[in-house]
Amino acid sequence: MAGDWRAGLGAALAGRRKQHLYRTRRVTQGAPGADVIIDGKRYLSFCSNDYLGLANHPEVVKAMQQGAARYGAGSGASHLISGHSSAHHALEEELAGFTRRPRALLFSTGYMANLGVISALAGRLSACDAQAGSDVVLEDRLNHASLIDAGLLSGARLLRYAHADMADLEKKCVAKTDRRMIIASDGVFSMDGDIAPVPELSRIARRHDAWLMIDDAHAFGVLGKTGGGTQEHFGLTVEDVPILVGTLGKALGTFGAFVAGSEELIETLIQQARSYIYTTALPPAVAEATRVSLRLAQSENWRREKLRALINRFRTGATHLGLNLMNSVTPIQPLLTGDNETTLRISEQLYARGILISAIRPPAVPKGRARLRITFSAAHDVQQVDRLLEALAELAPVR
């Protein structure tokens, strides 16, 4: 039998290829930016998450070099053993300050932050008492895979409500018979680019005595006047979003993630979040680089303004061309293309013209909802957006 299933892997891979679902990687050379080099050739890239153009900022790079010179290449241990350096500590304090929360806690990745938070706070049995019955985790159907996986891993009852459908969420809240309840949502949905209805989520969470967790991976540094994310975008208070997750590998251009919230929340995570405890701390040099990029993200408003102008130019041009835009004002501007084959073909045609845009197919998006996921960065300029529009005018299907 063992031989059979191993032989079956090849057949499954071939099946994937036939359905145009096969994934391959392109090997890039050099730093991320508006242009990337692949096989020695320059491509105009519209698929990074480096929204503010900080990943290759000279000051950020210098801080990482100096950090490595001072702290070494790696942290040497997990945070709870001896890996928690003054660089990590300073970054946590600065993240807490920026998010106006009592504490912030660094995680190695956003994926791990989400696993850590949900499985520390919810489970089959409540962590605080032995009362039987599982907790409830309510999640938007289009949440990032790491939030969904976190809900599953926690052992709590995972209920998924229809995308941004507050009536459906409300209905599922009422069905609750158990003790602890967490409502978790992306702040900006990673494949659609739309913004979650955070004010309504907050009201519903309050009404049902649930804890609201917002994963602001695509909003942190991007939305709001100072880059504070969805909370600032909507003019909400810290109390409206008691559990905030942000990632550092997107707008901040480095690597890692954090959770910000109350003293008790952060201390609970330090004691209980397994993806925090049982893993090596980030290289301190990464924390040093992030401290600089956090400062730049806060102070250099022009990056957000430029980004917004580029997005507006694209949407105006794409609307004029009759392209199938989605309901997004964020740097994530997908063009819905529908079937896998068409999507892959257009992506290849764009590539042949020196434009890099990834074809997003199931299971990252629902079946029949494949798309070209275009993302913008402050590193782009107006001419590059126009070049993209010219190529799309020829290649992309219209409504």
Active site residue 79: no
b/e for 243-276, b at 16 or more Cβ within 10 A? bbbbbbbbbbbbbbbbbbbeeebbebbbebbebb
Query: Which of 140, 232 has the CB closer to ligand PLP?
Result: 140
Query: How far apart are CB 145 and ligand PLP at their closest, in Å?
Result: 8
**Catalytic one among 57, 88, 250, 306?**
250
Select the residue interacting with ligand PLP from 48, 75, 85, 109 (CB under 6 A). 109
Q: CA angle 32-231-47, nearest 5°? A: 20
Among 190, 254, 375, 384, binds ligand PLP (CB under 6 A): 190
Q: Cβ of residue 310: shortest distance to ligand PLP, in angstroms?
A: 20
**Contact between 142 and ligand PLP per CB under 6 A:** no
Is 88 one of the catalytic residues? Answer: no
Residue number, nearest CB to ligand PLP: 110
Give min distance, CB of 108 to ligand PLP, in A: 8
Position 186 contacts ligand PLP (CB under 6 A): yes
d(CA 371, CA 361): 7
Q: Which of 246, 214, 283, 303 is nearest to 96 (CA)?
A: 246
* Contact pick of 217, 266, 344, 379 for ligand PLP (by CB under 6 A): 217
How many residues form the binding site for ligand PLP (CB under 6 A)?
14
Token look-up 């508006």 returns 34
DSSP 283-301: PHHHHHHHHHHHHHHHH-H
Q: Decide if residue 215 touches ligand PLP (CB under 6 A).
A: yes
CB closer to ligand PLP, 109 vs 202: 109
Residue ranges binding ligand PLP (CB under 6 A): 109-111, 114, 144, 146, 186, 190, 215, 217-218, 247, 249, 257
